[in-house]
């Protein structure tokens, strides 16, 4: 089992590694505050948040070619560029075609940060492999790329059983699939006067931001996933386009009664969008009650940790299925060829990896629940909503890789001592720990008011999220015993 790598190391040790090592809580603080002393060590990281050095080089090279300066954004497609420009009201941008991607450039100014955030929320940046290919002047074999996409769809098909393989939409990031799913529902529901979204339970930060920042829809947050009474009251107003929830949500690992939710959505004409990224498609059967399923493939499917990808599937048995599918196709950005090939090589391990990660997580959770320095341990199968999760569970499946710890001990001490990989992401072959809310909601955890808001939402601001890997359990346990020792 590797000890915690130094600050800024990427895992795996590849130009395309998606995990950046943040060994201490002080490093997390420096990362979030963008302190030069921290960032001088960081050349890559989770790709929607940290621009890989190869991507930066490709952008600079293209900027020199076209004589562009200012804010530079190498994006996967022209349609992604047009959409983000419209969202952010940037009117003085240049869009230059650079082979199979585009460079968006505009003067540095107030629009730069909002534009960067929408690029983050939608996962529209080119990948490190696409940048690498551009810099090297090479391209993938089209026939090999087609075979790879067929392989990815073949592995996913049993988990999306009623969907034709050609209609399984593979995206360049999980958030790209989420953004496309939301946009597709809006396209179908807007002409009907339905412009309200219900966010049921805490969501991954970028999903929440897409709803919060939308200018043509309203967003209502129902914090408690079991509060279907509140959902019904909102739906009864008649203007709800869709309900979005995660199965289970992250990091509480709580699951709504999805079949009751389905009945309510049918009664009031709302669409139900489900995201099972926390546990992966091999753990839960989410398509039957959903209108749309959006999921990350960066986790579980690409378990080596060096590929970003996502998937969107429309339930063909639901009303408006064809319209939703056509709309979603118009928003999805496909992965770059070399990323599809890398994903195809790894996704064949999806069933075995998911099963083993779940077993490991259950074992570690049981041990940690007995530790005097831990006040609470959560998995999807041990929260008060476990029965709702079990209703979605595939035969023989478990809770996925994630466990959430609430500590009696001091977070800083435990985190700094813990000798596992520490950084964002989960569902990978190696164990990962992260002070999740310090990364996802730093402004809240660093103010008394913000911390109180998190507590009201049922979240310990200092929780530790652990994604249990495939290392021998005794090695993982030994690392936690040392970290939790008084």
> Using one digit for the tens of pLDDT, what is the confidence trace for 13-29?
999 999 999 999 999 99
Q: Which residues contact 138 (CB under 8 A, 6 or more apart)?
A: none
Residue 486 above 90 pLDDT?
Answer: no
CA distance 198 to 361: 31
Helices (H), 223-319: 228-235, 258-268
Which 8-state DSSP code applies to residue 192? G
Residue 446 above 90 pLDDT?
Answer: yes
Average pLDDT over residues 96-122: 95
Q: What is the pLDDT of residues 203-246, one digit of tens each?
A: 988 999 999 999 999 999 999 999 999 999 999 999 999 999 99
Average pLDDT over residues 125-137: 96
Element (H, E) at 293: strand 292-296
Average pLDDT over residues 262-282: 98
State the pLDDT at residue 447.
95
Percentage of the chain exceeding pLDDT 70: 100
For residue 456, name the pLDDT band (cuts at 50, 70, 90). Answer: confident
Residue 140 above 90 pLDDT?
Answer: no
For residue 139, name the pLDDT band (cuts at 50, 70, 90). Answer: confident
Residue 1 above 60 pLDDT?
Answer: no
Q: What is the pLDDT of residues 157-203, one digit of tens each?
A: 999 999 999 999 999 999 999 999 999 999 999 999 999 999 999 99
Domains of the chain: 53-126 (no CATH), 142-347 (3.40.640.10), 350-484 (3.90.1150.10)
CA distance 54 to 52: 5
State the pLDDT at residue 2.
56
Helix (H, G, I), strand (E, B) or coil at 432: strand
């Amino acid at each position: 089992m590797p000890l915690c790598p130094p600050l800024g190391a990427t895992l795996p040790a590849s130009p395309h590694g998606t995990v950046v090592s943040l060994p201490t809580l002080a490093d997390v603080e420096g990362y979030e505050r963008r302190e030069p002393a921290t960032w001088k060590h960081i050349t890559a990281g989770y790709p929607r948040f940290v621009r890989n050095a190869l991507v930066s080089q490709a952008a600079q090279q293209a900027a020199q070619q076209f004589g562009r300066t200012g804010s530079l954004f190498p994006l996967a497609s022209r349609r992604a560029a047009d959409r983000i420009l419209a969202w952010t009201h940037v009117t003085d941008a240049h869009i230059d075609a650079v082979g199979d991607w585009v460079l968006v450039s505009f003067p540095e100014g107030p629009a730069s940060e909002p534009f960067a955030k929408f690029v983050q929320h939608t996962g529209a940046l080119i990948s490190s492999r696409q940048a690498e290919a551009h810099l090297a002047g090479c391209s993938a074999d089209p026939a090999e790329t087609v075979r790879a996409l067929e392989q990815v769809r073949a592995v996913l098909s049993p988990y999306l059983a009623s969907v034709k393989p050609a209609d399984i939409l593979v995206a360049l990031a999980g958030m790209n699939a989420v953004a496309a799913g939301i946009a597709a529902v809006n396209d179908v529901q807007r002409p009907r006067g339905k412009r309200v979204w219900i966010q049921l339970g805490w969501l991954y930060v970028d999903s929440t931001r897409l709803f919060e920042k939308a200018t043509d829809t309203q967003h209502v947050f129902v914090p408690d996933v079991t509060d279907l009474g509140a959902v019904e009251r909102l739906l009864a107003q008649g203007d709800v386009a869709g309900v979005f929830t995660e199965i289970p949500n992250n990091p509480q690992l709580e699951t709504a009664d999805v079949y009751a939710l389905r009945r309510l959505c049918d009664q009031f004409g709302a669409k139900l969008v489900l995201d099972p990224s926390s546990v992966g498609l091999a753990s839960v059967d989410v398509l039957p009650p959903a209108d749309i399923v959006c999921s990350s493939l960066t986790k579980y499917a690409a378990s080596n940790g060096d590929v970003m990808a996502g998937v969107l599937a429309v339930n063909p048995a639901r009303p408006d299925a064809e319209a939703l599918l056509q709309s979603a196709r118009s928003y999805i950005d496909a992965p770059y060829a070399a990323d599809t090939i890398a994903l195809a090589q790894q996704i064949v391990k999806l069933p075995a990896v998911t099963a083993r990660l779940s077993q490991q997580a259950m074992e570690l959770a049981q041990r940690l629940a007995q530790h005097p320095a831990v006040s609470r341990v959560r998995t999807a199968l041990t929260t008060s909503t476990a029965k709702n999760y079990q209703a979605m569970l595939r035969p023989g499946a478990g809770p996925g890789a994630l466990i959430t710890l609430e500590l009696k001990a001091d977070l800083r001490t435990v985190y700094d001592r813990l000798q596992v990989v520490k950084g964002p992401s989960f569902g990978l072959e190696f164990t990962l720990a992260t002070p999740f809310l310090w990364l996802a909601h730093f402004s809240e955890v660093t103010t008394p008011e913000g911390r109180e808001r998190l507590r009201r939402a049922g979240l310990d601001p200092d929780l530790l999220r652990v994604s249990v890997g495939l290392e021998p359990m005794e090695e993982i346990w030994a690392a936690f015993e040392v970290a939790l020792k008084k």
